[in-house]
Amino acid sequence: MIYLDNAATSWPKPESVAKAVYDCIRESGGNPGRSGHKMSLEAGRIVLDCRDAAAGLFGIDDPMRVIFTSNTTDGLNMAIKGILQPGGHAVTSSMEHNSVARPLKALEPQGIETTFVEADRLGRIDPEDIERAIRPNTSLIVLTLASNVTGTIQPFRGVGAIAKRHGIPFLLDAAQGAGHISIDVKADNIDLMAFPGHKGLLGPQGTGGLYVGDGITLNTIKEGGTGSFSDLITQPDILPDRFESGTLNTPGLAGLAAGIGYIKSVGIENIRGHEIDACGRIIGGLGEIGRVKLYGPADPEAHAGAIAFNVDGMDSTEVSYLLDSEYDIEVRAGLHCAGLAHKTIGTFEQGAVRVSAGPFTTEEEIGVFLDAVKKIAR
């Protein structure tokens, strides 16, 4: 079986990931931050190690500003709803995932408006369009690091600089990119960043995080027991407790720390190099097949893993079905939870086939995939 759906969730994981989760459940099963005994402290150490690992990867000085969430969507909701107030305004793009678009739309009845800046046909937004969309009441700019449909990397550093110049908090959706595209929250002027644990960071599903920058104050959307300040009936202010109510996914975080550890050991620049190489082969190979239409930029360096295409006259789900059933190749078809993006690139009716290599994808696997598409397109 050839797995080319790493933009949905990465697979396989480094062997250390499953093992760390297994060992944590069996040997370190206390509740972190809830009791003072050895098992609880050991669980707390596992969580702290993961916080340190994530902070280190993203240039975050204070690991306590890394909030653990159940997935990227959880963190995006916390950030979007925590910062926008009635009468406020947000700027975002037409390439966003529903995890950004739907929370923003859900705020409309509260008098919170959003401008969806249009990307070009390759899925790329122009930072100047973001700047032009800023209003006096703009209190948030949200942008995806890279489209989950076309893989198009957005000029997020340029947008970060604009946000900083205007004194508007900048939230980066790093669902596609964290773990393979270098991110430095300070240099890149990122105030808030939601990231998944189970995609580029190679951790297990059920993990993710939200970085909350210094000087950013968020209202909570969830409150509860934090293992701290139990005497208070109001949510404590300190980080990360303020945003981590209820028991954390300790075994998942043990696995996430192992995933990040793997990335650090290989080097993120090498993982990125491998990705550019894979994207180049896929784009080049698909481009040579008649009846195949590619979306997104032609330059593999402008891609964060995902590449979208269609075979002329065939529904995207038909192509992915044939790849799976006839060739044992796993890709994703359809709208990918991002209807807006498909409107932008012109595939709202047909959807698109998305192929996404991962750090363990081989040249040979890509060759088999290209041959299969060739036969299907014939």
Residues between 11 and 40 that touch its own copies (CB under 8 A): 11-13, 17-19, 21-22, 25-26, 29-31, 34-40
Work out whether 103 is an interface residue with its own copies (CB under 8 A).
yes
* Residue (of 265, 214, 272, 243) closest to 59 by Cα position: 214
| Residues 6 or more apart in contact with residue 361 via CB below 8 angstroms | 3, 4, 6, 278
What minimum distance in Å lies between the beta carbon of 96 and its own copies? Answer: 10
Q: Which of 59, 63, 64, 70 lies at the binding interface for its own copies (CB under 8 A)?
A: 70
Which residue number, 33 or 297, has a Cβ lying nearer to its own copies? 33
Work out whether 355 is an interface residue with its own copies (CB under 8 A).
no
Which residue number, 189 or 347, has a Cβ lying nearer to its own copies? 347
Which residue number, 119 or 276, has a Cβ lying nearer to its own copies? 119
Work out whether 247 is an interface residue with its own copies (CB under 8 A).
yes
Work out whether 106 is an interface residue with its own copies (CB under 8 A).
yes
Which residues of the chain form beta strands (DSSP E)? 2-3, 66-69, 89-93, 113-117, 138-144, 170-173, 192-196, 208-212, 292-294, 306-311, 329-330, 353-356
Listed ranges 154-162, 233-241, 277-285, 361-369: which one lies at the site for its own copies (CB under 8 A): 233-241
Work out whether 86 is an interface residue with its own copies (CB under 8 A).
no
What minimum distance in Å lies between the beta carbon of 50 and its own copies? Answer: 12
Let me know: does 146 contact 176? Beta carbons within 8 Å.
yes
CA angle 181, 344, 149 (to 5 degrees): 40
Measured from the Cβ of residue 27, the count of other Cβ atoms closer than 10 Å reads 9
Residue 151: which region, alpha, beta or left (left: phi > 0; alpha: psi -120 to 50)?
Answer: left
Name residues contacting its own copies, limited to 335-354 (CB under 8 A).
335-340, 348
d(CA 241, CA 229): 10
Q: What are phi and psi of 83, to 5 degrees?
A: -105, -35
d(CA 122, CA 295): 6
Name residues contacting its own copies, limited to 298-327 (CB under 8 A).
317, 320-321, 323-324
Which residue number, 107 or 302, has a Cβ lying nearer to its own copies? 107
Work out whether 87 is an interface residue with its own copies (CB under 8 A).
no
Name residues contacting its own copies, limited to 197-226 (CB under 8 A).
198, 204-208, 220-226
Work out whether 111 is an interface residue with its own copies (CB under 8 A).
no
Structure tokens, 277:
């190489």
Q: Which of 133, 286, 333, 373 lies at the binding interface for its own copies (CB under 8 A)?
A: 333
